[in-house]
């Protein structure tokens, strides 16, 4: 099995690697450099108001009903913070993910049908890298952390409609004003158009997959200049 050709790489879309050093800090990613020839770069956002894009340029006209969100992050503290937010033309969230002591999925088909799924007391603020994946399928959301299925929760949504992104905005690591929305470090942020993508994070999408390294070996790395 290979990576889907429809994988949406949110960090790549907002061209985070083109930001100046005063706007982001570059650092080694989750896989220790001794395991791979070219260690992945991770980022911490500081300022700049550039990590945004019109939603119609980022996503297909009709978003898949079932999908996965994959993130590799290192949290700085327990505070719940958004790592990305897709808003409509009125600035209301349509799809967003927050991480911290709790992990939260925001899924709003319309103003009349907002749905928030919250996984409580996850507690990942241990200065280690963690792989976090959400599998959205039917009326449920399954949380997978560091290759282990944690639990599933009900997603209250109609199955006769799909998310439609039109005239809105995608924000990554920042809010609408350009301020920092996530103060930790992030290496990977993907949306996969299948619910099975979340289960493949450690075997297909993770940069450490070849050496099969898990959370205990995702060590704290010092920042590097870029």
**Residue 39 resides in a domain:** yes
The tens digit of pLDDT for each residue in 143-166 reads 999 999 999 999 999 888 888 888
- Give me the domain span that covers residue 23: 8-209
SS3 161: coil
Is residue 181 a part of any domain in this protein?
Answer: yes
pLDDT at 40: 66
Query: What CATH number is given to the structural domain containing 80?
Result: 2.60.120.200
In a domain, 42, yes or no: yes
H/E run at residue 171:
strand 169-172
| pTM for the whole structure | 0.87
The torsion angle over the Cα atoms of residues 126, 129, 130 and 131, rounded to 10 degrees, is 170
Residue 27: C-alpha distances to residues 21, 48, 173, 179, 204 (Å): 11, 18, 16, 21, 22
List the single range of 90-94, 142-146, 171-175 with lowest mean pLDDT: 90-94
Domain membership of residue 217 (yes or no) is no
3-state helix, strand, coil in the chain (%, to 5): 10, 40, 50
Report in angstroms the alpha-carbon separations of 3 from 8, 9, 14, 139, 194: 11, 12, 20, 25, 11
Is residue 30 assigned to a domain?
yes
Q: What is the pLDDT of residues 34-70, one digit of tens each?
A: 555 555 689 999 998 999 999 999 987 678 999 999 9
Residue 85 lies in a domain: yes
Whether 215 is covered by a domain: the verdict is: no
Q: Give residue 185's pLDDT.
A: 95
Evaluate whether residue 223 is within a structural domain: no
Backbone angles phi, psi at 92, to 5 degrees: -90, 140
> Structurally, how many domains does the chain consist of?
1
**What was the pLDDT predicted at 220?**
45
């Amino acid at each position: 099995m290979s990576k889907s050709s429809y994988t949406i790489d949110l960090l790549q879309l907002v061209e985070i690697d083109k930001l100046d050093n005063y706007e982001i800090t570059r650092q080694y990613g989750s896989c220790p450099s001794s395991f791979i020839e070219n260690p992945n770069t991770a980022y911490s956002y500081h300022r700049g108001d550039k990590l945004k894009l019109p939603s119609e340029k980022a996503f297909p006209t009709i978003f898949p009903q079932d999908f996965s969100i994959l993130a590799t992050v290192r949290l700085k503290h327990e505070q719940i913070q958004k790592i990305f937010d897709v808003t409509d033309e009125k600035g209301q969230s349509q799809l967003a993910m927050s991480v911290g002591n709790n992990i939260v999925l925001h899924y709003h088909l319309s103003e009349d049908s907002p749905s928030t799924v919250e996984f409580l007391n996850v507690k990942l603020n241990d200065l280690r890298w963690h792989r976090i994946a959400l599998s959205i399928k039917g009326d449920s959301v399954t949380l997978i952390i560091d290759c282990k299925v944690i639990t599933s929760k009900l997603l209250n949504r109609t199955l006769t409609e799909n998310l439609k992104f039109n005239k809105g905005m995608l924000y990554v690591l920042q809010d609408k004003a350009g301020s920092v929305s996530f103060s930790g470090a992030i290496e990977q942020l993907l949306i996969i158009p299948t619910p099975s993508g979340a289960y493949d994070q450690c075997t297909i999408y993770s940069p450490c997959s070849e050496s099969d390294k898990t959370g205990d070996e995702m060590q704290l790395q010092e920042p590097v200049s870029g």
